[in-house]
Structure 1
């Protein structure tokens, strides 16, 4: 039973992580239709920037690892979710800094667009 619960915790953490990253990248554009989301998106972007700049572990990675341990599955690498699931799969590892810069640019563009639409 512990294994099933652990897999569930790990799966929920994975879904939350993926949703967080998706909202980080695209949430500013959602604010074009729902302006109150811009406040939430600023917080999410600040957290994402802090994680990227400091290379600190994300609490969702810790949660996923706790579930994985309980299920008897291998842990994520110390680098965390993005290096494990995205780097080398979605884009080459050598592109990491460029991808981070591109995500930052997308966020800025979404905020400029939100500013134009909301003012």
Structure 2
């Protein structure tokens, strides 16, 4: 039971990390200091996609699932709804590259917006 709960917790953290990588730049527009945490996470997420690596959270989760006696991802809410988002079954190398480029483009927009906002504040004396 404990290993299953830990595996589910790792899955939720993984999902939240991915959401932060994708959308954290826009949160940094609201809270500019957040960029110091987001930029390394965003760089790691993009690197994982471009290099075709596996995030260390994936084998951790799988090891915990095996330790809990699970043979797969069938079962509860977390497995049914979040796993297909984090681990798409038909993920190809080309899709990984496009995902990486999409993350880069989305965050480029967010940080351009942030820089524009900060430069306006500096010009107005804030």
Normalization by structure 1: what TM-score? 0.77
Preserved CA contact (<8 Å) 1:5 1:67:
no
In the TM superposition, residue 74 of structure 1 has moved relative to its aligned partner by 2.9
Change in CA separation of 1:118 and 1:26 when aligned onto 2, cut-off 3 Å:
same
Q: 1:64-107 CA distances to partner (integer Å, 9 max, x unpaired)?
A: 0121011112368xxxxxxx62335xxx7477243432222111
Indicate the larger mover: 61-70 or 15-24: 61-70
Change in CA separation of 1:47 and 1:93 when aligned onto 2, cut-off 3 Å:
closer
> What is the match of residue 80 of structure 1?
none
Q: 1:5-29 CA distances to partner (integer Å, 9 max, x unpaired)?
A: 1111110110011000100111000
Matched, 1:37 2:34: yes
Matched, 1:85 2:81: no
Unaligned segments of structure 1, at least 5 residues: 77-83
Matched, 1:55 2:52: yes
Runs of 4+ off more than 6 Å? none
Unaligned segments of structure 2, at least 5 residues: 74-82, 120-126
Residue correspondences, number: 106
Change in CA separation of 1:15 and 1:24 when aligned onto 2, cut-off 3 Å:
same
Please give the root-mean-square deviation of Cα atoms over the aligned residues, in Å. 2.1
Normalization by structure 2: what TM-score? 0.73
Q: 1:37-90 CA distances to partner (integer Å, 9 max, x unpaired)?
A: 1111110011112211222221111220121011112368xxxxxxx62335xx
- Tell which structure's C-alpha radius of gyration is larger: 2
> What is the match of residue 15 of structure 2?
18
